[in-house]
Copies of this chain bind each other. A is one copy, B any other.
């Protein structure tokens, strides 16, 4: 994608005059130091995963200039975050905090309101404040990535503790967790595994939640609840506060582990397979958040462009995908289950035998012998991730199109064949309608699964962007009609998704708005995030 090299003019937030805004920024520079406030008047360079921009979404689905920051600030401490918040309140400037801004597929680093001042917390606040080898916990700042924590554990020789990592290890632990991201070890529900927050409120005060509110405590990371209302939850997927520290629990080394992979031949196997998985998963015979992937995505995960396989328009035909799969070490199939068994050898043997017996009820099931798979096969990436080793192999399917970008559709359903089938059909219908390749993967949690559908698109092509977005909007609406809602979503879909959670005349949004107005009377913090608009913005057409 060609970069527009001209010097851009700053996207001043709506409702404030240009020179008033620039004067306010000058004031902030004085408070934080000039080098810690960057005005965004340079070309918008997309970079790549490891060198991503913090001014906009490197995988933008809209025009670059739509969701763009006016400036980026780099606080170095909680006090400096408070300074920025006080400044924002004084000048009524929307601010948008990111930890590292790698929320790709969900909006990257982009703010929801054009011209917001992005607070890039991670650049300077990136310390691992504590690792407690007795309690199996740690305390981190926003700039600590999964990679960084992993390295620190290795460096200290703490082999008795594992971390949990999402598919890509370059994101921050805090950013991922407050957006309620997931990983693939038994500690994969990051929100459930965190313990203790330090939060700067939109009015500038700092609170510590849980036991953190007790001076001199030694249990902030050991006991999440504390006394009184357990308020952590309202700081996830919201715009009620800026998290400056977070505690996280670490998984004990299980004393052994073993990846396994099964393939299933037909699309229709999905229903029975999911019903087989459910009781095994709930009773922890299947111990981690499994990925059940469609072969199309596995083919894409080789990292080759789509054009290597097919040069026509519209979705790559099934026959082409299957031919490519047949030609691979795994062999042809439609669904692949990637799992891991944990614990001492005899425990694993027992569990694996139950799993094997159950999976083989599906005709044509194949258990893949890992020894037959080459080193760079996708299987080994899943193996690393399910063992808590950060990785970036997963990025490869983004190469499927030129200027490869992606955006996610992530509805939640029970672990039931009938639901899996309905969601699969729904996705297929709209992908076909818009001529988009369909990459479904079911991530099976404990009692629910998320279908994760990543639409890969060429971000330099406005037509493709439009189609991807239309497809998503159609899927979100139809899913809601069927009773399925998203667990998380992209910035541009937040209003729509929030709108589907409309029970009792939108009671939950009215409640969210009431909290927003109480906590952020000037409406400065991340307006519109997760569909929550402060009073000052409501009824003025900000939704999209």
- Report Cα–Cα, A253/B284, bound state, in Å: 11
Q: Is A207 an interface residue (CB 8 A)?
A: yes
Which one, A68-76, A113-121, A215-223, A318-326, is touching chain B?
A215-223
* Binary per-residue interface labels of chain A (221-259) against chain B in the complex, 1 for a CB within 8 Å, 0 otherwise: 111011111111111111010000000010011110000
Residues of A in contact, count (CB < 8 Å): 95
- Report Cα–Cα, A205/B486, bound state, in Å: 24
Flag if B517 contacts A219 (CB, 8 Å).
Answer: no
* Contact with A223, one of B225, B255, B279, B445 (Cβ below 8 angstroms): B445
Flag if A482 contacts B229 (CB, 8 Å).
Answer: no
- Report Cα–Cα, A93/B350, bound state, in Å: 61
Closest to A514 in B: B518
Flag if A229 contacts B234 (CB, 8 Å).
Answer: yes
Closest to A445 in B: B223
- Report Cα–Cα, A115/B211, bound state, in Å: 33
Known contacts: A514-B518, A519-B514. The answer to whether A237 contacts B233 by CB under 8 A is no
Q: Is A425 an interface residue (CB 8 A)?
A: no
Q: Is A26 an interface residue (CB 8 A)?
A: no
CB of A387, distance to nearest CB on chain B (Å): 16
Q: Is A497 an interface residue (CB 8 A)?
A: yes
Flag if A234 contacts B237 (CB, 8 Å).
Answer: no
Flag if B485 contacts A227 (CB, 8 Å).
Answer: yes
Flag if B485 contacts A218 (CB, 8 Å).
Answer: no
Task: Report the copy number of this chain in the oligomer.
Answer: 2
Known contacts: A225-B191, A501-B226, A501-B228. The answer to whether A205 contacts B511 by CB under 8 A is yes
Which one, A1-9, A27-35, A130-138, A396-404, is touching chain B?
A130-138
Closest to A203 in B: B514
- Report Cα–Cα, A259/B503, bound state, in Å: 45
* Contact with A214, one of B211, B480, B489 (Cβ below 8 angstroms): B480
Flag if B223 contacts A234 (CB, 8 Å).
Answer: no
Q: Is A370 an interface residue (CB 8 A)?
A: no
CB of A275, distance to nearest CB on chain B (Å): 9
Flag if B512 contacts A515 (CB, 8 Å).
Answer: no
CB of A538, distance to nearest CB on chain B (Å): 16
Flag if A230 contacts B233 (CB, 8 Å).
Answer: yes
Please indicate the chain B residues that have their CB under 8 angstroms from the CB of A207 in the complex.
Answer: 504, 507-508, 511
Please indicate the chain B residues that have their CB under 8 angstroms from the CB of A503 in the complex.
Answer: 208, 212-215
Q: Is A419 an interface residue (CB 8 A)?
A: yes
- Report Cα–Cα, A206/B216, bound state, in Å: 39
Please indicate the chain B residues that have their CB under 8 angstroms from the CB of A215 in the complex.
Answer: 480, 483, 502-503
Please indicate the chain B residues that have their CB under 8 angstroms from the CB of A23 in the complex.
Answer: none
Known contacts: A219-B414, A507-B213. The answer to whether A229 contacts B134 by CB under 8 A is no
CB of A532, distance to nearest CB on chain B (Å): 7
Closest to A234 in B: B229
CB of A92, distance to nearest CB on chain B (Å): 20
Q: Is A524 an interface residue (CB 8 A)?
A: no
Please indicate the chain B residues that have their CB under 8 angstroms from the CB of A518 in the complex.
Answer: 514-515, 517-518
Please indicate the chain B residues that have their CB under 8 angstroms from the CB of A304 in the complex.
Answer: none
- Report Cα–Cα, A500/B488, bound state, in Å: 37
- Report Cα–Cα, A136/B484, bound state, in Å: 19
Flag if B180 contacts A218 (CB, 8 Å).
Answer: no
- Report Cα–Cα, A278/B416, bound state, in Å: 38
Q: Is A498 an interface residue (CB 8 A)?
A: yes
* Contact with A211, one of B134, B283, B485, B489 (Cβ below 8 angstroms): B485
Q: Is A531 an interface residue (CB 8 A)?
A: yes
Q: Is A447 an interface residue (CB 8 A)?
A: yes
Flag if A508 contacts B209 (CB, 8 Å).
Answer: yes
Q: Is A510 an interface residue (CB 8 A)?
A: yes
Q: Is A309 an interface residue (CB 8 A)?
A: no
- Report Cα–Cα, A508/B286, bound state, in Å: 40
Q: Is A537 an interface residue (CB 8 A)?
A: no
Q: Which 10 A-B pairs have the closest CB atoms?
A: A518-B518, A230-B233, A252-B283, A216-B483, A229-B238, A213-B501, A223-B448, A213-B508, A214-B485, A222-B448
> What are 6 sample pairs from A and B whose C-beta atoms fall under 8 A apart?
A213-B503, A214-B501, A226-B508, A229-B240, A230-B233, A233-B233
A135-B278, A191-B225, A225-B237 given; 13 more Cβ-contact pairs under 8 Å: A137-B447, A206-B507, A208-B508, A213-B508, A214-B503, A219-B412, A222-B415, A227-B498, A228-B501, A229-B234, A229-B532, A234-B234, A254-B283
